[in-house]
Amino acid sequence: MFLCLFPFLVQGQEKPLKQTICLIADIPLLLESDHGIISFSKTGILDISPGRIRISMAARTDAIEFEHLIQLAKPLAVMEQNSTAYTVQWNTKKYRDWTPVAGQHSSTLIDTSLGINDSLKLIWKNRSGKIVQKFTLKTKILRPAIIGFRINEYYDSIDRGHKIRVLKRKNGLPKGYQSLQSDSIQIQAGGIIELKIKSYPLLVDTLIQFRITSREDKTIPGWKSGSHLLILPELKADNNYTLELKYPNQSAVAKYHLIHQPFWHQLTWVRWTIGLSLLTTTILLTRWYYRRKWRREAAQRERLEEQLTTLQSQLNPHFIFNALSSIEGLVTIGQNKLANEYLTTFSMIMRDTLKNVDKMLISLEEDLQLMHQYLKVEQLRFGFEYEWELDPGIHPAEIEVPPMLAQPLIENAVKHGASAKGWINIEIAKKNADMLIRVTNPSSNIAIKPRTAGGYGWSLINQRLDHFRELNPDSPIEFEFSQDEKQATATLIFKNWFS
């Protein structure tokens, strides 16, 4: 009696290979393979994958473990089986002479490896020479094929095991699966794809090998083991993948393209729209910010310019008062001719001063001409000497300065140093990127404080310098004053005037 229990172990034999088939025919056999037994036809042809194959006699009293049972006929009686002999042909050539079966009830008949296009035939005959059993093993090139797919919203590893067992019994497409008509599959964003691979009656389900390469990662990964139900939860949206499938020890590779569609926020037009919206918003906010800033700065600048103009206009009455005082003094002492000359020159100064009253800047040439006229007026009154020194590198017609800014310095020099027939030296110099207007006069016995020299006139100049510094922080005008026993020097420093 032939005994099959499940699960079983082959007692007294080598460790089984990956797949074991029990073939019950006239001569019961165990067929083991490490790369897969594919199918068995009624004509006695067994298709297998290239690799190792081991064929053994099936002992009738041993417990046997196997994946598939093929029953073709009722086994011969033990006595009748022991009277048979077998031979092996390799690729139609004799591989083993006729060998009696007696004594080989559970022994290995052949253990070898078959390559591509190899075949192995086993034949049994009885004592009278009649063939009682034969079958042929042929290697077959096998390429996996996806026959259908389904897209799920989630992945359940417990449900996967149940699906594999169900699909193993069905080679058709289960409910909910779509038939695959090409080598490309579209996957909705966030979907989990299930692939149904064509299965074979005898092939072990876990012999599928696969690998996936993505558009983003060009690294070629190693082969992984899978089954005829392949679930790929690791695919990311907005990416293209290449899926390769093959059977172990087979060179035939099937390639499929998996296109995982992007989420709505990953769509190109959505990204462009969001990007353009952000860019437009940024531009509008930046424009609004700078327009507001420019308006605020313009308003502040306008206010400072008005204040500066006001201070400048306040300087004119001060200058007029001093000039009229000088004319009055000349008339009082009877120097009418000198007073007339003074008045004529004064009128020219007033005309030019009034012309520039609303200007922030005038040319240095115009300003020096005004200073020269002022010195002529004061020279008529006090009789001092003065001289000009102009740096050759300075072109007065090409440089602009605030009008009448140096006038209080000259007035101070006349008042404190030159009124007693002294002298005044006016130097316009260039020092690196700065321009200097330096007014030097003999020192008086009265100590002069730098920030109060010139009285009310100099107080207005101080305010003008402060306002000008606010309007032009990169090119401020600074004032320095020094005095010793011999001379006093007042200097206006126009910072970065030549940069």
pLDDT by residue (tens digit) across 223-259?
Answer: 998 888 888 887 888 888 999 999 887 888 999 999 8
**CA within 13 Å, CB half, 153:** 0
**Residue 353 DSSP symbol:** H
What number does CATH give the domain 146-266?
Answer: 2.60.40
Could you tell me the CA-to-CA distances from 206 to 202, 225, 228, 283, 373 in Å, in that order? 12, 7, 7, 59, 110
pLDDT for 477? 92
Superfamily assignment of 273-494 in CATH?
A: Histidine kinase-like ATPase, C-terminal domain (3.30.565.10)
pLDDT for 190? 82
d(CA 379, CA 264): 88
d(CA 474, CA 468): 11
**Residue 207 DSSP symbol:** G
Tokens 């020096």, residue located: 368
Q: What residue spans in the chain does CATH classification 3.30.565.10 cover?
A: 273-494
pTM exceeds 0.85 for this model: no
pLDDT for 4? 40
Give the Cβ contact number of residue 126 at 10 Å.
16
Instruction: Transcribe 220-264 into DSSP letters.
Output: -PPPEEE-SEEEETTPPSSEEEEEEEE-TT----EEEEEEEPPPG
Residues of the chain falling short of pLDDT 70:
1-16, 61-62, 103-106, 154-172, 204-206, 299-319, 357, 419-421, 444-458
Give the residue among 130, 133, 176, 173 at the shortest CA–CA distance from 152: 176
d(CA 486, CA 334): 35
Q: What residue spans in the chain does CATH classification 2.60.40 cover?
A: 19-139, 146-266
Amino acid at the residue 35: H
Rounded CA Rg of the chain: 56
Residue 106 in contact with residue 3, Cβ under 8 Å?
no
How buried is 27 (Cβ within 10 angstroms: 0-12 exposed, 13-18 middle, 19+ buried)?
A: buried
Question: Does domain 19-139 correspond to CATH entry 2.40.128?
Answer: no
Determine the length of the chain: 499
